[in-house]
Chain A
Amino acid sequence: MPASDAPRRVRRWDPLVRLTHWGIVASVTVNALVTEEGSGPHQWVGYALAALLALRLLWGLVGTPEARFLAFPPSPARALAHIRDMRAGRQVDHASHNPLGALMVYAIWSCLAVIIASGLAMAPPFAAPKGEPASSGTHIESASVAIGGDENGEGGEHEEGVLTEVHEIAVNLLYLLIALHLAGVIFETRRSGPQVVRAMLPWRSPGRE
């Protein structure tokens, strides 16, 4: 019946959702694998990540119906209902993220927010001397290490240590969430087909005429 399978095949995330998704993927990947921790490029990629997350959150307020927060409220009750559906083998069509996916989305966003906030606190933009913003992070670190006995060195270093700790824990949590996210996508693909992946692909998938 064309009327029943057409909506499933054609539905995809809007460009802004896909753009921010893959932009965040790219910046997380770059900061995890390429840039040196605390280096200038690491911070600049962090800013870009913050901007993309902010844009996605703005889109959650004014965006397309499926992209808005209202379309996927963080509701454990719904998530449980969704798990019951999955157990019973029921295929329920969700216009936006499915309730489990929604929880994952909010978890990842919160995690990213903590990472960004701790990163910004460690290397605030206003600490960057004009003209050499690319090296502010390493400056601070080496400075605070070198002048550890200075009048404000003690407290600053302690704070720095806590922030670093928070940053790293949040990043490790993010890796865990990403792994769970990928597992969820694979599971959902096996359960109800490649539509889940297709909806997020940045290019036109062959499934659509």
Chain B
Amino acid sequence: MTIGPSRIRNGDGRAWAVAAILGLQSIAAAFFAADALADLSRDGLSAHMAVEAPVAFALLAGIVLGARHLRMMMTEARRRDEALAVASGALSDVIRLRFDAWGLTAAEADVALFALKGCDVGDITRLRHTAAGTVRAQLARAYAKAGVSSRAALTSLFIEDLLDAMPPPRTDSVAAHISGGGGDVTPPRGTGTPAVQTMPFSRNRR
């Protein structure tokens, strides 16, 4: 999480650097072309021109390729931005809204959150100062309300949202794979409209 923002900033700086170089290259190309034209009109076709023409061509090609490269960089950075926004800020909103929609009690929500964070029953017992049996019961009720049978399945309900930001072909195959395992146990999610409303978040931004 902590490397996220700095990565974005670096990406932004790189894009600026490439854009600035492109700007300079364009100006240089304009001046070079003007100079080459002056040479051409003065000397006609000469050995000098035979050198300058490829240079001019290389400059122009460099600008076009640089522009395409910059576009790809920005597309990539934007996708990363979206994924990170879901991952860092919105995911906690989504979790909270889903917990509400499933009707988890405060205790069940706490336990489920610990479970999502990777704590096992022993850890949760220590953290909440309760008996292992209580934690197991709360976890079981939380899973039942979420319509899943394991912690992995619970996690995957949220991972699904993160995968939304990925390119369509891969999303399709992953989503098909996941819904094949958990699609039939998700009726509670259908009624959870707040959670569903937040899902287009990543799509809104383009």
Establish whether residues A47 and B34, one from each chain, have CB atoms under 8 Å apart when the complex forms: yes
> Is B206's beta carbon under 8 Å from chain A?
yes
Name the B residues within 8 Å of A3 (CB-CB): 90, 197-198, 200-201, 204
> Is B19's beta carbon under 8 Å from chain A?
yes
Q: Which of B67-75, B106-114, B125-133, B174-182 contacts A (4 or more CB under 8 A)?
A: B67-75
> Is A125's beta carbon under 8 Å from chain B?
yes
Q: Which of B22-30, B116-124, B140-148, B163-171 contacts A (4 or more CB under 8 A)?
A: B22-30
Q: Which of B184-206 contact A (CB under 8 A)?
A: 197-198, 200-201, 204-206
Pick the residue among A2, A20, A44, A130 that contacts B23 (CB under 8 A): A20
Pick the residue among A54, A55, A59, A126 that contacts B40 (CB under 8 A): A126
Q: Which of A29-50 contact B (CB under 8 A)?
A: 44, 47-48, 50
Number of interface residues of B (CB under 8 A): 43
> Is A128's beta carbon under 8 Å from chain B?
yes
Q: Which residue of B lies closest to A3 (CB)?
A: B201
> Is A179's beta carbon under 8 Å from chain B?
no
> Is A178's beta carbon under 8 Å from chain B?
no
Name the B residues within 8 Å of A44 (CB-CB): 31
- Tell me the A residues contacting B by CB distance below 8 Å: 2-4, 6-7, 10-11, 14-16, 18-20, 23, 44, 47-48, 50-52, 54-55, 58-59, 62-65, 95, 124-130, 133
Pull 29 A–B residue pairs with CB atoms less than 8 Å apart, ordered by A: A2-B93, A3-B197, A3-B198, A3-B201, A11-B205, A15-B19, A15-B74, A16-B22, A16-B23, A23-B23, A47-B31, A48-B30, A51-B23, A54-B26, A58-B63, A58-B67, A62-B68, A63-B67, A63-B71, A64-B74, A64-B75, A124-B37, A125-B35, A125-B37, A126-B37, A126-B42, A127-B38, A128-B34, A130-B38
